[in-house]
Amino acid sequence: MIGTDICEAMVVEAGAKGLAAEFQIGDAEALSFPDASFDRVVCNFGLYHLPDPDRAIMEAARVLKPGGRYAFTTWCGPEVSPLFRIIPAAVRTHGTPDVGLPEAPPPFRLANRMESVRVMRDAGFEDVAFVDITSVLECPIDEVIGFLEQGTVRMTMVLRAQALEPRRRIEQEIRDRLSEYAEDGVVRLPMPAIVASGRSK
């Protein structure tokens, strides 16, 4: 089993866990492996962060043997996920979402099943299927802001880029809104996701 990540620190951390796998630095949009190298390829909440997720899906198809399986997970969007509604709304109200982040495709595009089917088929996959994931984020209410500052990517970058006073107001609104999901001081926030999978031709 081989795991790749573009971030060296993540590769080092994964390697330190003593798992029965090899970990190496790699770009999901330009994998270093020969064609038809693997029986299975998995991308766990990674496409969400890539500048060209379609290219990464095509790369997965390239390195799979005929009949191999590919699967990826992706978060569902703000229509069903409170976290992805609350934070952007707080930023728009009290700060600015335009902080010079690198260009990226719409983050929840692949949560649209018709779009995922189209992209997977264009990459050469068939028998595309989906499984719903019912997940819940649990975090003490007084640690929520710390989690958002360390546990996300683009949301973390947006929060850190705000001026001091707007950021204070943003954080307070996030706490207030998330407290609606708290019980006994612990936020329990629905974070639905999907698994999409397909078979290589």
Q: How far apart are CA 145 and CA 3, in angstroms?
A: 30
* Residues 6 or more apart in contact with residue 176 via CB below 8 angstroms: none
Q: Within 10 A of 122 (CB to CB), how many other CB atoms are there?
A: 12
> Nearest-5° angle of CA 139, CA 149, CA 47?
90
What are the sequence ranges of the domains in the chain? 33-200
| pLDDT score at 19 | 86
pTM of the prediction? Answer: 0.89
pLDDT at residue 155, rounded to an integer: 86
pLDDT at 29: 96
Give the helix/strand (H/E) hosting 92: helix 83-94
C-alpha triplet 111, 27, 134: angle, nearest 5°: 25
One of 3.40.50.150, 1.10.579.10, 1.10.760.10, 2.20.25.10 is the CATH number of 33-200, namely 3.40.50.150
User: Regarding beta strands 193-200 and 125-133, do their DSSP bridges make them parallel or antiparallel, or are they unpaired?
Assistant: antiparallel
* Burial of 141: CB neighbours in 10 Å, binned 0-12, 13-18, 19+: middle
Q: 183 has which bridge partners?
A: 186
pLDDT on residue 101: 81
Cα 69 to the center of its chain, rounded Å: 20
Tens place of pLDDT per residue across the chain (201 aa): 899 999 898 899 988 988 888 999 999 999 999 999 999 999 999 998 898 999 999 999 999 999 999 999 999 999 999 999 999 999 999 999 988 887 778 989 999 999 999 999 999 999 999 999 999 999 999 998 888 888 788 888 899 999 999 999 999 999 999 999 999 999 999 999 999 999 999
Nearest to 166 by CA among 98, 90, 100, 101: 90
